[in-house]
A and B are shown apart, each in its own frame.
Chain A
């Protein structure tokens, strides 16, 4: 067979090769995204995602969507504009969550014995699904950034509340009131994470009484819009071929 001849000899064979190629790329993409996104999210979201006593109604709600919309926006740009595939955000979150769960279960629990109910990851899937659907239905980066980015930020807190609410039940402990999440942080000793490192309930948002989570979510949503634009452009640039030499 010469170099100019095709490696496949029939349409059926071409389809088979194409499908094999699909799975190879999807598998590789999944684990590359898992690794890169996981490191990114651990470095930027870090303790807010690690511990229940960091998952508050102000900063966790604000920080987590802003720092996690990054990779979904970039991967969407590649998969949508190159392949018209609307699962960029979901595949990112699937990878991230798999990596996080392996980390939390094998490392946090398996090595250092922190109970899983204290160190489970945040749920980012609702926002990712909506982000993908908005891009697919509108075929517009701008609308996806504005509507999808907004939805990504807004859905974060309610999407996590069913998991977090039981840990916000109050408890009286030696004369002080705490939530069960606070108590987890106090009981399960973290030598390198003293209480003062916790960045929770800080800020000047004091005029909304107890209803600060929606306000924080809206702020997070607005910033998520901007971050979406930025990372969508990163993705477009990264997914381009202008930097390769044409033959």
Chain B
């Protein structure tokens, strides 16, 4: 019996080793950015991205594409997240698979951090140049100091070609055109190799003689001073003087070779120009809002007042980048990512045109698997159980009006 037990134990151990070893050969690429794991209230109540456009689905290496659109900085920014007073328009990609050739907010280049105003809407554009082949999930992203990265919608983009052919030419103010991909590389390798070799030489000088045991015995016997000879001191002095001389020579020759250098540039960019939206003529009051957990649906009771001169209909509800559309009013023709688009996800109890000067209370349901897939349902576990989003109304002429909604959300488990 014991023999069988031992054999089973032994074989189990071997099987475990084989499994662990085999697992090492399976290492799939991690391509997404944890966007679904970010707290739902962060995505619903901070930056609202809309009108997004990824200019290409497939880009060859060295070719460019843009991501453009608008973002609304939510006026009811959660207290648990620092305000976007120091923010950076980033891009959510797995490392530099693209390089960011330019990024603009309101037409201004934003290579540095910016201050954003609550309640304002901004236009943005990011110009990317393809660098590494593969299929990449390319997200919009706003980093907020004290708030962390606030990730926006992402779309899969394929980069074709070979990375070896990637070049990044830049012309300096001195008129030289360099390839930033490899610039200064040989100089870096040279100096590091030189100093490493000098360090190794110093170590080798001491390691050529017995190192530990005899020296320890001598030190313990009170003969430590005899271990450093006059020749050692001369060699050491040579190393020190040589080091200082090389540093001085390196400094002066570098200054001669690069007479014009400037410090790193840093600072906050203020005064980003927001979009001047037309005066709002549609008012929306959220009477109540519930999220039905079993049905993956959010239901709102809205009182809509049309103060404009044209009748309007509700066509879209956008929250955390997920778009719920009423196809009778509005359809998407921008190639928005499928997983974030609920083309028939918006149901309004009475979506006939609301005439100018009238009010109507309607039941609005936004339902789609995206609530679950994008873990927006987890909102009920967040510290601030409120929802927020953008409602888009369309008038008879097809003009669009954006209205922000923000209200408490009560979960329903039955």
Q: With A94-B196, A94-B203, A182-B111 as known contacts, state yes or no: A165 contacts B95, CB within 8 Å.
A: no
Give every chain A residue within 8 A of B173 (Cβ-Cβ). Answer: 169-172, 177
Q: Out of B237, B258, B264, which one reaches A200, CB within 8 Å?
A: B264
Give every chain A residue within 8 A of B257 (Cβ-Cβ). Answer: 165
Q: Out of B88, B113, B182, B195, which one reaches A125, CB within 8 Å?
A: B195
> In the docked arrangement, what's the CA distance between A195 and B269, Å?
12
Q: Are B181 and A189 in contact (CB under 8 A)?
A: no
Q: Out of B112, B228, B250, B260, which one reaches A169, CB within 8 Å?
A: B260
Binary per-residue interface labels of chain A (152-195) against chain B in the complex, 1 for a CB within 8 Å, 0 otherwise: 00010011011101111111111111111111101111111011
Which partner residue on chain B sits nearest A176 by CB separation? B109
Q: Are A158 and B247 in contact (CB under 8 A)?
A: yes
Q: Are B236 and A133 in contact (CB under 8 A)?
A: yes
Q: With A165-B258, A180-B180 as known contacts, state yes or no: A189 contacts B216, CB within 8 Å.
A: no
Q: Are B96 and A165 in contact (CB under 8 A)?
A: no
Q: Are B250 and A170 in contact (CB under 8 A)?
A: no
Give every chain A residue within 8 A of B180 (Cβ-Cβ). Answer: 115, 117, 180, 183-184, 187
Q: Are B247 and A155 in contact (CB under 8 A)?
A: yes
Decide yes or no whether B400 CB sits under 8 A from chain A.
no
Q: Are A178 and B111 in contact (CB under 8 A)?
A: yes
Decide yes or no whether B233 CB sits under 8 A from chain A.
yes
Q: Out of A97, A130, A174, which one reaches B102, CB within 8 Å?
A: A174
Decide yes or no whether B13 CB sits under 8 A from chain A.
no
The dominant DSSP class at the B interface is mixed
Q: Are B95 and A112 in contact (CB under 8 A)?
A: yes
Q: Are B233 and A189 in contact (CB under 8 A)?
A: no
Task: Give, as a whole number of angstroms, the nearest-CB distance from A3 to chain B.
Answer: 20
> In the docked arrangement, what's the CA distance between A73 and B263, Å?
32
Decide yes or no whether B294 CB sits under 8 A from chain A.
no
Give every chain A residue within 8 A of B87 (Cβ-Cβ). Answer: 196
Q: With A25-B212, A168-B262, A170-B262 as known contacts, state yes or no: A97 contacts B251, CB within 8 Å.
A: no
Give every chain B residue within 8 A of A15 (Cβ-Cβ). Answer: 210
Task: Give, as a whole number of angstroms, the nearest-CB distance from A76 to chain B.
Answer: 13
Q: With A163-B191, A183-B180 as known contacts, state yes or no: A57 contacts B263, CB within 8 Å.
A: yes
Decide yes or no whether B92 CB sits under 8 A from chain A.
yes
Which of B141-149, B303-311, B331-339, B345-353 lies at the interface with chain A? B141-149
Decide yes or no whether A49 CB sits under 8 A from chain B.
no
Q: With A94-B196, A136-B232, A166-B184 as known contacts, state yes or no: A196 contacts B131, CB within 8 Å.
A: no
Q: Which residue of A83, A113, A161 has the most chain B CB atoms within 10 A of its CB atom?
A: A83
Task: Give, as a whole number of angstroms, the nearest-CB distance from B184 to chain A.
Answer: 5
Q: Are B182 and A115 in contact (CB under 8 A)?
A: yes
Binary per-residue interface labels of chain B (55-77) against chain A in the complex, 1 for a CB within 8 Å, 0 otherwise: 00000000000000000000000
Binary per-residue interface labels of chain B (96-127) against chain A in the complex, 1 for a CB within 8 Å, 0 otherwise: 11111110000001011100000000000000
Give the number of residues in B that approach A within 8 Å (Cβ atoms): 94
Q: Are A82 and B182 in contact (CB under 8 A)?
A: no
> In the docked arrangement, what's the CA distance between A223 and B92, Å?
39
Q: Are A123 and B192 in contact (CB under 8 A)?
A: yes
> In the docked arrangement, what's the CA distance between A116 and B265, Å?
21
Give every chain B residue within 8 A of A167 (Cβ-Cβ). Answer: 183-184
Binary per-residue interface labels of chain A (128-147) against chain B in the complex, 1 for a CB within 8 Å, 0 otherwise: 11101110110100000000
> In the docked arrangement, what's the CA distance between A166 and B244, Å?
21
Give every chain B residue within 8 A of A132 (Cβ-Cβ). Answer: 202, 236
Decide yes or no whether B286 CB sits under 8 A from chain A.
no
Q: Out of B181, B237, B248, which one reaches A133, CB within 8 Å?
A: B237
Q: Out of B98, B218, B237, B264, which one reaches A179, CB within 8 Å?
A: B264
Q: Are A129 and B199 in contact (CB under 8 A)?
A: yes
Q: Out of B91, B111, B253, B261, which one reaches A173, CB within 8 Å?
A: B111
Binary per-residue interface labels of chain B (194-231) against chain A in the complex, 1 for a CB within 8 Å, 0 otherwise: 01101110110011001111111011000011011000
Which of B38-46, B163-171, B314-322 lies at the interface with chain A? B163-171
Decide yes or no whether B292 CB sits under 8 A from chain A.
no
Decide yes or no whether B16 CB sits under 8 A from chain A.
no
Binary per-residue interface labels of chain A (185-222) against chain B in the complex, 1 for a CB within 8 Å, 0 otherwise: 01111111011111011100000001000000000000
Q: Are A174 and B260 in contact (CB under 8 A)?
A: no
Give every chain A residue within 8 A of B196 (Cβ-Cβ). Answer: 94, 97, 125
Q: Are B90 and A189 in contact (CB under 8 A)?
A: yes
> In the docked arrangement, what's the CA distance between A181 and B258, Å?
14
Which partner residue on chain B sits nearest A18 by CB separation? B213
Which partner residue on chain A sits nearest B197 by CB separation? A125
Give every chain A residue within 8 A of B141 (Cβ-Cβ). Answer: 191
| A residues 45-59 touching B (CB-CB < 8 Å) | 53, 55-57
Q: Out of A19, A22, A113, A181, which one reaches B97, CB within 8 Å?
A: A113
Q: Out of A136, A165, A170, which one reaches B172, CB within 8 Å?
A: A170
Pairs across A and B, CB under 8 Å, 7 listed = A57-B263, A158-B248, A174-B102, A179-B261, A191-B141, A194-B90, A201-B263
Add 14 more A-B contacts to A113-B97, A159-B250, A201-B263 (CB < 8 A).
A22-B210, A22-B213, A56-B264, A97-B192, A101-B192, A125-B198, A129-B199, A130-B243, A137-B233, A161-B251, A161-B254, A168-B261, A170-B260, A192-B149
